[in-house]
A and B are shown apart, each in its own frame.
Chain A
């Protein structure tokens, strides 16, 4: 399962907030793809994954795939 979160046009920290709120709605092992064009998301989504111990699967072209691991 993959959930897509369209955060294009939103500035940080909003994409990270939406990602954090969406995480409990998906099962462990599922992924969330965040679409975000704010330049800060390129740093903040990977940093959130590190701080929250979630897996960053991919980060390319304003799309960040995050797998819930806990």
Chain B
């Protein structure tokens, strides 16, 4: 058995040591109901306020602009629905890029106005701006960077084009890794993408943005995240973000170098491969490529057997047997697809071994189908 090399950080990072330490102490101190007035409740409230303050600072917002939800998906569902409800007199259309996370596509539904992307996966800014200026638009949605191919989106320019229409930014792929441009009205993020625990999402709403929760409200998070809060997990998420941001500059430098090396070696050593996404204007830690004539599931399985954990946007690796809507919108090859994403624990030795092992695996899978 080979040593494992976890190269799927964009799906989930292993828990940051700072988060683990915080979680272990917080389960003993932060378990009570923070809305109660007794000693244990006040302690939990103090810890909750502390977590919110640290998370808000990490995003660059005020604590009263930040709602804590139960996942990044829940933050998108709650935030987008609340903006839609508040702006229903203006209109109901949701302008969004074709490569948004499925949580955005599911919330927009029939009201969605989809804007195409180029071969790198970057939104057509002129079409986006034109669609936002039409009457009846409730909200515009644009991710900070694409979660599958790493391409950054033009947030600043999109915000400038939005005028009075609120810009909703899904920043799950970026937060903890790099700074997101300003100009947005609502921003969402997810803790397990920066080494925090699963089950923590962030929903930041800039002051002046109108929101109205779209379902039965309780007293928690202004009705935007109903139910008893998980204070220990929120604290762990805050500790992870703080620690991760302190390491971000160093990891950014390291990861960009290694990703550039993988891009170069995969392109040079594997014939008929298409590396996708913008080569420069991108996330530091993600690289995606597609190998012609290769079954994506066979490739992921073979890499797993060699000790490498990667994800794939190929149809055969999805439960629906449909290819990734991101790759399809870009018009790039969907089969033989691999996404490599580096964690803070990734080493150069892992990257180097990946680049050495991959060409033989691709060659073997192709040989099985006579290519």
List residues of chain A with CB under 8 Å of any chain B CB.
11-14, 16-17, 20-21, 38-40, 42-44, 46-48, 50-51
- Contact A17 B333, beta carbon cutoff 8 Å: no
- A–B Cβ pairs within 8 angstroms, 19 of them: A11-B316, A12-B314, A12-B315, A12-B316, A12-B323, A12-B335, A13-B293, A13-B369, A17-B293, A20-B371, A40-B314, A40-B322, A43-B328, A44-B323, A44-B334, A44-B335, A48-B292, A51-B272, A51-B274
Interface of chain B residues 325 through 352 with chain A (CB within 8 A): 327-328, 331-336
Contact flag A51-B292 (CB < 8 Å), given A40-B323, A43-B328? yes
Indicate the member of B274, B292, B321, B322 with the most A CB atoms within 10 Å: B292
Residues of B within 8 A of A13 (CB): 292-295, 335-336, 369
- Contact A11 B321, beta carbon cutoff 8 Å: yes
Contact flag A40-B371 (CB < 8 Å), given A12-B315, A16-B293, A17-B293? no
Whether a CB of chain A sits under 8 angstroms from the CB of B216 is no
Whether a CB of chain A sits under 8 angstroms from the CB of B370 is yes
List residues of chain B with CB under 8 Å of any chain A CB.
272, 274, 292-295, 314-316, 321-323, 327-328, 331-336, 369-371
- Contact A47 B333, beta carbon cutoff 8 Å: yes
Complex Cα spacing A12 to B313, Å: 13
Contact among A16, A20, A42, A50 with B335 in the assembled complex (CB-CB below 8 Å): A16
- Contact A12 B334, beta carbon cutoff 8 Å: yes
Contact flag A17-B315 (CB < 8 Å), given A42-B328, A46-B331, A47-B333? no
B270 to chain A, nearest CB (A): 13
Closest to A15 in B: B335
Complex Cα spacing A43 to B313, Å: 13
Residues of A within 8 A of B334 (CB): 12, 40, 43-44, 47
Indicate the member of A11, A13, A40, A48 with the most B CB atoms within 10 Å: A13
A65 to chain B, nearest CB (A): 18
Complex Cα spacing A46 to B330, Å: 11
Residues of A within 8 A of B335 (CB): 12-13, 16, 40, 44
Residues of A within 8 A of B272 (CB): 51
Residues of A within 8 A of B369 (CB): 13-14, 17
Residues of B within 8 A of A39 (CB): 315, 321-323
Q: What would 17 more interface pairs be, CB under 8 Å, given A12-B335, A48-B292?
A: A11-B315, A12-B316, A13-B294, A13-B295, A16-B292, A16-B293, A20-B292, A21-B371, A39-B321, A40-B323, A43-B334, A44-B335, A47-B274, A47-B332, A47-B333, A50-B331, A51-B274
> How many A-B contacts at CB < 8 Å in the complex?
65
A19 to chain B, nearest CB (A): 10
B227 to chain A, nearest CB (A): 38
Complex Cα spacing A43 to B331, Å: 6
Closest to A39 in B: B322
B302 to chain A, nearest CB (A): 15
Complex Cα spacing A11 to B320, Å: 13
Residues of B within 8 A of A51 (CB): 272, 274, 292, 333
Residues of A within 8 A of B333 (CB): 43-44, 47-48, 51
Residues of B within 8 A of A42 (CB): 328
B334 to chain A, nearest CB (A): 5
Complex Cα spacing A48 to B316, Å: 18
Residues of B within 8 A of A50 (CB): 331
Closest to B274 in A: A51
Complex Cα spacing A35 to B75, Å: 42
